[in-house]
Each structure stands twice: as structure tokens, then as C-alpha cells.
Amino acid sequence: MFAVTATQTDADNPLKGLTLGERPDPVAPDGWAVVDVRAAALNHHDLWTLKGVGISQDRLPIVLGCDAAGVDADGNEVIVHSVIGTPTHGDETLDPRRSLLSEVHDGTFADQVAVPARNLVPKPAALTFEEAACLPTSWLTAYRMLFDKAGLEPGSTVLVQGAGGGVSTALVRLGHAAGYRIWVTSRSEAKRAKALEMGADRAFEPGARLPERVDAVMESVGAATWDHSISALRPGGRVVICGATSGMVAPTQLAQVFFLQKQIIGSTMGTRDQLARLAVFLEQTGVRPAIDRVLPLSRAEEGFAALHEGDIFGKIVFTRDK
């Protein structure tokens, strides 16, 4: 089968390890299923793998990709949940031995992928394969942040740091559909304008003084925005953090946290059941992922380069070559 594989890692030149070509077809062990991939979405996780983050050299070569939608052996249209783990307290993301596709097991940037059978979620007919492929990582992450971790009621004000990426565009669209007042930040005037078109109520430059403190902050940027996130939060509010693309270490004014009883909540990915509910939510509301571009898998390097340069708004999706 044709696949996009990480064959080496390089922190300074991650695309150096990107290899396109033939790989063995996947073999499904007992309890697993093989899915014919129709569309697969690109994530920062794929770029970090090429940089050597979160993967050891003995696992290379490995097929990249966490997200996919396709057809199973029985002809069912499915979405692939990418968390491979045993549910702990009903949540597979709490399994300390969990992994994502492309960390231990070959990922989705291929003609076929093998996954545990329980990881398959029915794809609503209303969603295209390209739209459905955007859900398992960034959109599921956003869904869990907003509707599970943030503890918000409709009408609450939410600040989303860093408009333009997959998680942030999902937060804008999901939050708007759920009746939240959504504010965003971005260094790019063009991205601020696009966020407003997508449903954000206000858009600000990073670090800007806000008209009022917010009920929750959705944080994925990390060090560059962390001080602003804590300061922008109302007493008793929550920062929900799912990542730190600008740096993992950031000082925190602890007096603000304990005296004003602000909460810092970690969140990563989501459960298989949350992915199923997310798909239904999109079917019921008409909300759809923002897709920056769709490329055939044979042009994957072009998509990786765009993500590496930050020249995107929404998701990059790969489809099988005809």
C-alpha cells in the first residue's frame, strides 16, 4: 500500500524524515479491524514526530497520521478514534500506557490502517469523509475542553488563544454553536478576520487588555500566552490547557491562582464515546470543520511544509490518490 512514513527525525529540518512510498499492508490481530482510508487529517502531532518529540528511534520507520475516516471490511463508513488504550474509570485517555496512532502502531496516512474494532465510530451520512477525518484529534480535543472540562453554561464568555489552528477553529465553531460568547487572539490580522467570519464575537491581538475578564480560557499556545491567560480569567474561572506549541515552561503568578481561586485544568484528546457524540453534534447543528486545503496523499510533503510554516487556517486533509 502507499503510505507516508517517518524514517528519521530532525528537530531543525523535520521534513527531512518524510518518506512517501510503498509499505506492507496492515495485518489486524484479534479484536482489531482494517479500514480503507478515504481521508486523513494532518496535525501538529505529525510534525512533532518528525522532530523526534514523543517517539523513540527504535519505532522508526512508522506510518504517520492520527486522524482518518474510511470504510471498514463490512462496508460501513466509519471515523477512526486514534487513542489506543484501556479505559480507566471509563476514560481511555487516563490509561498511563495509552498511545495515539503513529506512536506505537502505524498511523492513518496510508491506503489502509489497522485499529482496535472498538475504536470505530459510525460516520454520519451528512459528513463528508474529508470533514469526518478532521474530528478525532483537534475537534475531539476542542469538544472535550469546552463541554467536559470547562464547566460552562451557554452565554459564558470564552477566550481562545491563537486563532487559526485546528483546535482553535474547532473551539470557535463549537462554542458559537453552543451559545458561548467567543473571543479570540491572533498575531495575524487576516486570521482575526477569519475567526470573526467563523463565529467569533471579538478578536484581539495577543496580550491585549480585554473589555472584561472571561469565564474560561482555552489554551494551546503555552509559554507565549500563559500570563495573559491567567490574568484574563475571572475569579473562580478556569484555564483549560491541551498543549503548548510555543513552549512547555511558563511562570505562573500563584497568588492569582489561590487568592482568586482560579483553576488550571489539563485536557488531552477525548474518549471514543465523546467522538461519537461530537459526530452527532455536527450532524444536528450543521457545524462543519474549517478545511484549509485538501491534497492527495502523494502531495503530503506540500501539506507538511504549510503546517511547518504556519501558513494555514483550519485543517489540511489528505485523500487517497485516484
- The string of DSSP codes covering 216-271 is EEEE-S-TTTHHHHHHHEEEEEEEEE---TT-S-----HHHHHHTT-EEEE--S--
pLDDT at 322: 67
- What b-and-e string marks burial along 142-176, b requiring 16 or more CB atoms within 10 Å of the CB? bbbbbbebbebeeebbbbbbbbbbbbbbbbbbbbb
Mean pLDDT of the chain: 95
Kindly report the backbone phi and psi dihedral angles of residue 271, in degrees, each rounded to the nearest multiple of 5, phi listed first.
Answer: -85, 170
Residue range 178-197: mean pLDDT, rounded:
95
Cell 485516484: give the residue. 322
H helical segments located in the chain: 44-51, 129-133, 140-144, 166-177, 189-198, 226-232, 254-259, 272-285, 300-309
Residue type, 281: F
pLDDT at 147: 97
**What is the spatial distance between Cα 65 and Cα 102, in angstroms, rounded to a whole number?**
6
Instruction: Tell me the CATH architecture of domain 139-266.
Output: 3-Layer(aba) Sandwich (3.40)
Residue range 216-223: mean pLDDT, rounded:
94
Q: How would residue 133 be classed by pLDDT, with cut points 50, 70 and 90?
A: very high
pLDDT at 298: 96
Q: Where are the domains of the chain?
A: 2-134+289-319, 139-266
Residue range 99-122: mean pLDDT, rounded:
97
C-alpha cell at 301: 510533503
pLDDT at 163: 85
Q: How would residue 90 be classed by pLDDT, with cut points 50, 70 and 90?
A: confident
pLDDT at 313: 85
Q: What's the CATH code, domain 2-134+289-319?
A: 3.90.180.10
Per-residue pLDDT at 111 exceeds 70: yes
pLDDT tens per residue, range 23-65: 999 999 999 999 999 999 999 999 999 999 989 889 999 999 9
Please tell me the pTM assigned to this model. 0.94
pLDDT tens per residue, range 235-281: 999 999 998 888 889 899 899 999 999 999 999 999 999 999 999 99
Per-residue pLDDT at 140 exceeds 80: yes
pLDDT at 227: 95
**What is the spatial distance between Cα 73 and Cα 109, in angstroms, rounded to a whole number?**
18
DSSP notation for 75-102 = S-EEEE--EES--BTTBGGG-TT-EETT
Kindly report the backbone phi and psi dihedral angles of residue 219, in degrees, each rounded to the nearest multiple of 5, phi listed first.
Answer: -120, 125
- What b-and-e string marks burial along 290-312, b requiring 16 or more CB atoms within 10 Å of the CB? bbbbbbebeebeebbebbbeeeb
pLDDT at 230: 96
pLDDT tens per residue, range 287-299: 999 899 999 999 9
Q: How would residue 89 be classed by pLDDT, with cut points 50, 70 and 90?
A: confident
